[in-house]
């Protein structure tokens, strides 16, 4: 029987109950992580926990499980499933208060801690012949100014993503007021041009993605491509040889068209295949 974890208890999903006075429900006052597990082996588990821990400290939520407790909880939840490929969802909110109010509770409350697992697809084969690349659109980034914190308050991301779907696209690339590429609505973005891989530097405008971290490290260790963390303008994006997006759930995906204009020759490129091969072979080392 598949189980979820909620505040120290394991139970079937339909028996898990969260108070409507939970600040995660009322304000989106909480953080989350999604960790992919293939054949029950997690990718970047410690990196995800590190980001969660740093995020909780940044928004002043205390009392979450320690790393070894997270590991035990996740192992128990995973073991209750029969599927081989699973995503782990971890969420921590500021907890329940008797009265709705914007200010943090005067007396610290216990956080609400929730973990569940869900079936995910097997990794994409290492081949340009399997599947197609993404077609994306672009939009001015309208989200809040702390995109570096992986908050459960995702309305801005949802609206940007839905904009893409409404226009028949797989994703939406986001640009700041200076017309610089920040990230996508649900992913980080990489741009390949003249054997140099560019991605936006980490700041408040984008999430420090775990897949981004792993791919950057693997590319730098490998050395085939020069790797640069710097802002990418619309003009630079327009002459890119290749564009990739990265996320924990989709790993590394090639982009073949932006706003209906082909990227490069409009086909999945050699650079993506090389980068995805590196990632596929090295992801379990993190």
The domain segmentation of the chain, as residue ranges, is: 4-119, 128-283
Question: What whole-number distance in Å separates Cα of residue 115 and Cα of residue 91?
Answer: 6
pLDDT of the residue at 247: 98
Integer Cα distance of 75 and 229 in angstroms: 35
Closest CA to 164 of 139, 196, 194: 139
Provide the pLDDT for residue 132: 87
pLDDT band at 129 (very low <50, low <70, confident <90, very high): confident
Q: Which CATH architecture has domain 4-119?
A: 2-Layer Sandwich (3.30)
The answer to whether 151 and 116 are in contact (CB under 8 A) is no
State what percent of residues in the chain have pLDDT above 90.
Answer: 96
Provide mean pLDDT across the span 258-269.
97
What does the angle CA 225 – CA 277 – CA 175 come to, to the nearest 5 degrees? 60
Q: What is the mean pLDDT of residues 139-157?
A: 98
* Distances in whole angstroms, Cα of residue 244 to Cα of each of 43, 263, 268, 273: 19, 10, 10, 10
The per-residue pLDDT for 131 is 77
pLDDT value at position 57? 98
Mean pLDDT of 243-269: 98
- The class that CATH gives domain 128-283 is alpha beta
**Model pTM?**
0.96
pLDDT at 107: 86
Mean pLDDT of 156-163: 99
How much is the mean pLDDT over the chain? 97
Averaged pLDDT, 5-32 = 98
Q: Do domains 4-119 and 128-283 have the same CATH topology?
A: no
């Amino acid at each position: 029987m598949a189980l979820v974890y909620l505040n120290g208890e394991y139970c079937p999903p339909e028996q898990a109950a969260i108070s409507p006075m939970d600040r995660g429900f009322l304000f989106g006052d909480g953080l989350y992580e999604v960790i992919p597990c293939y054949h029950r082996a997690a990718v970047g588990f410690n990196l995800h926990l590190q980001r969660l821990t740093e995020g909780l400290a940044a928004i002043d939520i205390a009392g979450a499980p320690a790393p070894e407790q997270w590991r035990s909880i996740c192992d128990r939840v995973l073991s209750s499933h029969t599927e081989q490929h699973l995503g782990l969802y971890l969420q921590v909110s500021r907890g329940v208060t008797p009265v709705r109010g914007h200010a943090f509770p005067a007396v610290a409350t216990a956080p609400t801690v929730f973990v569940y697992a869900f079936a995910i697809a097997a990794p994409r084969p290492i081949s340009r012949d399997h599947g197609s690349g993404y077609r994306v659109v672009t939009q001015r980034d309208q989200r809040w100014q702390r995109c570096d914190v992986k908050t459960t308050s995702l309305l801005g991301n949802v609206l940007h993503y839905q904009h893409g779907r409404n226009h028949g696209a797989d994703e939406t690339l986001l640009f700041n007021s200076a017309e610089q590429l920040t990230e996508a609505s649900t992913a980080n973005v990489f741009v390949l041009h003249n054997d140099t891989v560019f991605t936006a530097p980490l700041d408040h405008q984008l999430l420090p993605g775990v897949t981004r971290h792993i791919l950057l490290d693997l590319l730098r260790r490998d050395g085939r491509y020069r790797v640069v963390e710097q802002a990418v303008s619309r003009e630079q994006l327009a002459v890119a040889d290749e564009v990739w997006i990265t996320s924990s759930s989709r790993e590394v995906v090639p982009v073949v068209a932006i706003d209906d204009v082909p990227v490069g020759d409009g086909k999945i490129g050699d650079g993506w295949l090389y980068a995805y091969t590196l990632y596929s072979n090295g992801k379990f080392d993190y």
